[in-house]
């Protein structure tokens, strides 16, 4: 079999053409990056863990009525997904202060926010994913007003669902990042894209606030694989042993 040509390679995933029109294959790499890729490493098995965890979460969101790009997991590293035109906006949801909002607004990590905060960043590594407002999204046409409203409403619904999913396994959902897209063939409305995994959520153990997410890598805490495995185990996700 000849080498497949990637359509796109990101920091943690590679996108290949799918078997059918309107589909793509999303391959999960073991690469870990932080601080806009100034910090890099390879963590063996991380891609497998994120593939299985994200499959589980996407299926649960789908069962609750959220439209997602996820079709099925193909193997340990790959998912079949709907081909979307990705809206170049990262939607960040914050329930508790952590990460970049702390230095930006003078908050202390762990502070409760008065209510759930939804922020938007432009998906542009060269610019360092700058924070943007609704006005930027509409002015530059990254999404129209209707799409923006759907994106925000879906985001709040997903936050409620995810908060409950993690609370049920004794984990606090501190913050996370979502991406949305529209079907490339023009059919249907916005869909949730990308992945939902401990790479793009902050997850803290109830009671101790021990970090069970990518902050273990960002902050050199060690034990990232063990933490992701523990999240998978509690969710009831079986991960193949030999990765
Ligand atoms: N996040 C992400 N990709 C990004 C930026 C943020 O998945 O490019 C996630 C991150 O894992 C965290 C949330 O979004 O769960 C908020 O991240 P923050 O803005 O605090 O940035 P970071 O700490 O990654 O610099």
Q: Are 73 and 57 in contact (CB under 8 A)?
A: no
Does the residue 62 lie in any domain? yes
Does the residue 46 lie in any domain? yes
Q: Taking the alpha carbons of 95, 100, 105, 111 in that order, is the dihedral positive or negative?
A: positive
Closest ligand 1 atom, residue 176 Cα: 15
**Distance between CA atoms of residues 77 and 29, nearest Å:** 8
Q: Are 203 and 173 in contact (CB under 8 A)?
A: yes
Q: For the chain, what is the domain count?
A: 2
Instruction: Based on the fold, state whether residues 93 and 78 are members of the same structural domain.
Output: no
Does ligand 1 lie within 6 Å of residue 99's CB atom?
yes
Does ligand 1 lie within 6 Å of residue 177's CB atom?
yes
Instruction: Based on the fold, state whether residues 138 and 61 are members of the same structural domain.
Output: no
Instruction: Based on the fold, state whether residues 188 and 91 are members of the same structural domain.
Output: yes
Instruction: Based on the fold, state whether residues 63 and 138 are members of the same structural domain.
Output: no
Domain that includes residue 68, residue range: 8-84
Reported confidence tier of residue 211, pLDDT bands at 50, 70, 90: very high
Instruction: Based on the fold, state whether residues 38 and 91 are members of the same structural domain.
Output: no
Q: Is the pLDDT of residue 1 over 80?
A: no
Domain termination residue (choose one: 84, 109, 130): 84
Instruction: Based on the fold, state whether residues 104 and 76 are members of the same structural domain.
Output: no
Does the residue 108 lie in any domain? yes
Instruction: Based on the fold, state whether residues 115 and 133 are members of the same structural domain.
Output: yes
| CB proximity list for 191: less than 8 A, separation 6 or greater | 67, 68, 69, 82, 84, 180, 181, 182, 183
Nearest CA to ligand 1 atom 12: 176
Instruction: Based on the fold, state whether residues 212 and 116 are members of the same structural domain.
Output: yes
From the CA of 204, how far away is ligand 1's center (Å)?
15
pLDDT tens for residues 18-67? 999 999 999 999 999 999 889 999 999 999 999 999 999 999 999 999 99
Instruction: Based on the fold, state whether residues 112 and 206 are members of the same structural domain.
Output: yes
Does ligand 1 lie within 6 Å of residue 175's CB atom?
yes
Q: Taking the alpha carbons of 221, 224, 226, 232 in that order, is the dihedral positive or negative?
A: positive
Instruction: Based on the fold, state whether residues 129 and 214 are members of the same structural domain.
Output: yes
**Distance between CA atoms of residues 149 and 118, nearest Å:** 12
Does the residue 230 lie in any domain? no
Closest ligand 1 atom, residue 119 Cα: 19
Does the residue 231 lie in any domain? no
pLDDT tens for residues 88-110? 999 999 999 999 999 999 999 99
User: For 127, which DSSP code?
Assistant: G
Does the residue 1 lie in any domain? no
Reported confidence tier of residue 4, pLDDT bands at 50, 70, 90: confident
**Distance between CA atoms of residues 126 and 136, nearest Å:** 18
Q: Output the six-digit token pair for 225.
A: 């694989």
Does ligand 1 lie within 6 Å of residue 147's CB atom?
no
**Distance between CA atoms of residues 213 and 191, nearest Å:** 25
- The pTM (predicted TM-score) of the whole model is 0.97
Does the residue 194 lie in any domain? yes
């Amino acid at each position: 079999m000849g080498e497949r040509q990637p359509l796109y390679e990101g920091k943690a995933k590679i996108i290949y053409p799918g078997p059918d029109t309107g589909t793509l294959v999303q391959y999960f790499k073991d690469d870990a990056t932080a601080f806009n890729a100034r910090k890099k490493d390879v963590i063996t098995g991380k891609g497998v863990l994120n593939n299985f965890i994200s499959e589980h979460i996407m299926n649960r969101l789908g069962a609750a009525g959220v439209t997602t790009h996820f079709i099925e997991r193909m193997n340990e590293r790959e998912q079949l997904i709907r081909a979307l035109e990705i809206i170049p906006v990262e939607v960040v949801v914050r329930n508790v202060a952590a990460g970049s909002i702390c230095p930006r607004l003078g908050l202390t990590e762990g502070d409760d926010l008065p209510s759930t905060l939804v922020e938007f960043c432009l998906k542009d590594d060269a610019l360092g994913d700058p924070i943007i407002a609704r006005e930027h999204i509409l002015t530059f046409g990254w999404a129209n007003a209707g799409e923006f409203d759907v994106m925000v409403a879906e985001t709040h619904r997903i936050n409620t669902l995810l908060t409950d999913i993690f609370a049920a396994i004794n984990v606090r959902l501190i913050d996370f990042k979502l991406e949305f897209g529209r079907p490339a063939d023009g059919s249907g409305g916005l869909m949730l894209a990308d992945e939902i995994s401990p790479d793009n959520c902050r997850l803290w153990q109830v009671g101790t606030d021990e970090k069970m997410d990518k902050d273990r890598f960002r902050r050199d805490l060690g034990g990232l694989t063990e933490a992701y495995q523990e999240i998978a185990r509690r969710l009831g996700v079986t991960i193949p042993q030999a990765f």
